[in-house]
Amino acid sequence: MNFKINILDENTINKIAAGEVVERPSSIVKELIENSIDAAASRITIEIEDGGKKLIRVTDNGTGIDSHEVEKAFQRHATSKILNIDDLYNLNSLGFRGEALASIASVSEIEVITKTENDKFGTKLYLSGGSVIKKEPIGCSIGTTIIVKNLFFNTPARRKFLKPSNAETLSITDIINKICVGNPNIKFKYVNNNKIMLTTPGDDNLKNTIRSVYGKNIADNLISISTQNNYFKIYGFVGNNSIYRSNKSMQHIYVNGRYVKTTLILDAISDAYKSILPVNKHAICFLNIQVDPKSIDVNIHPTKLEVKFENENELYKFIKQEIYASLIHSSLIPKFEEHI
């Protein structure tokens, strides 16, 4: 073996990082939609073909990217969202790592069309395997479209690990559903192989959004929850005992607007429902949790699906107790059982 130490080049570094951020097409869809949300878009359209393996296109009417900064957006650690580490604990954006676009670009072919309100013309940029191929002006409206084609064309080993298109589509649909419900103020449209799968009203009404994503039966069997203490504010809906699932896939948790899968919160939900659901069945819920950004750490995993809380025991107790209280309030749990 040769013990010479190599400093990896930028392209190799990006491809390695892409292993964490770009696990599969749905992770790209998540990152692109989150960028559109951070750009204050009120309309976001997601189009996919062949489970995202052939094409992913996300179009928004957000701020756009300045013509002279478009290439920069695809560099590693390039972000407009934070300047230093303190900003991370005062975060009001979903992104901050500045690595999604660089990672995605390193393993695909990309076209970006973007225009800000300051630019007279829009910009179209082509990249392949992370390198800029062409840049040209284009007439377009304010906002950004990012098209990702031929995912993993230059990393065949990773392409081989992708699941069949229908399985990748299911994973994309799931993340889109979760993001739609977390952003009732945004009008989403999701198109799969030229077929419209979903549109949301964008009327800032959580129940209406849940209805458009998951249908009438779920929307009609929800109990509202809205409460706060010194640390947390919780609002949303929890399902009654006529709707449940055999896994936790319908437990929607958003922390300061970010969709997360935090075990602690999932456990608190399970405990609150223990006496009213059949064994091994799991509640359906849509919970928004607002906390002071200083009291959480969102930087514990590249996919940003985990959050660490400063007051995690308080949060566990609060969620369990408040869900329990709303189930009692709606007479699903008899009052005499009240012991928490």
Interaction partner, residue 99 (Mg ion, ligand ADP, none; CB < 5-8 Å by kind):
ligand ADP
Q: How far apart are CA 32 and CA 37, in angstroms?
A: 9
Report in angstroms how near the CB of residue 297 gets to ligand ADP at its nearest: 16
- Which pair of tokens denotes residue 35? 């960028």
Report in angstroms how near the CB of residue 49 gets to ligand ADP at its nearest: 20
Interaction partner, residue 198 (ligand ADP, Mg ion, none; CB < 5-8 Å by kind):
none
> Are the CB atoms for 298 and 88 separated by under 8 Å?
yes
Report in angstroms how near the CB of residue 34 gets to ligand ADP at its nearest: 7
Report in angstroms how near the CB of residue 233 gets to ligand ADP at its nearest: 25
Our CB check for ligand ADP shows the closer of 79 and 209 to be 79
Report the DSSP beta bridge partners of residue 112.
125, 146
Our CB check for ligand ADP shows the closer of 41 and 272 to be 41
* The residue type at 153: F
Which positions lie near ligand ADP, rule CB under 6 A? Answer: 31, 35-36, 39, 60, 62-65, 73, 78-81, 95-102, 144
Interaction partner, residue 97 (ligand ADP, Mg ion, none; CB < 5-8 Å by kind):
ligand ADP
Our CB check for ligand ADP shows the closer of 35 and 251 to be 35
Interaction partner, residue 186 (Mg ion, ligand ADP, none; CB < 5-8 Å by kind):
none
Interaction partner, residue 78 (ligand ADP, Mg ion, none; CB < 5-8 Å by kind):
ligand ADP
Our CB check for ligand ADP shows the closer of 55 and 78 to be 78
Our CB check for ligand ADP shows the closer of 65 and 315 to be 65
Cβ neighbours, 10 Å, residue 201:
15
User: Could you say which residues in the range 12-41 bind Mg ion, by CB under 5 A?
Assistant: 35
CA torsion sign for 65, 67, 70, 73 is: negative
155 is a site residue for Mg ion (CB under 5 A): no
Report in angstroms how near the CB of residue 10 gets to ligand ADP at its nearest: 14
Interaction partner, residue 96 (ligand ADP, Mg ion, none; CB < 5-8 Å by kind):
ligand ADP
Our CB check for Mg ion shows the closer of 35 and 183 to be 35
95 is a site residue for Mg ion (CB under 5 A): yes
Our CB check for Mg ion shows the closer of 97 and 189 to be 97
| Closest residue to bound ligand ADP by CB | 95
Residue with tokens 């209280």: 325
| Closest residue to bound Mg ion by CB | 95
Residues that bind Mg ion (CB under 5 A): 35, 95, 100
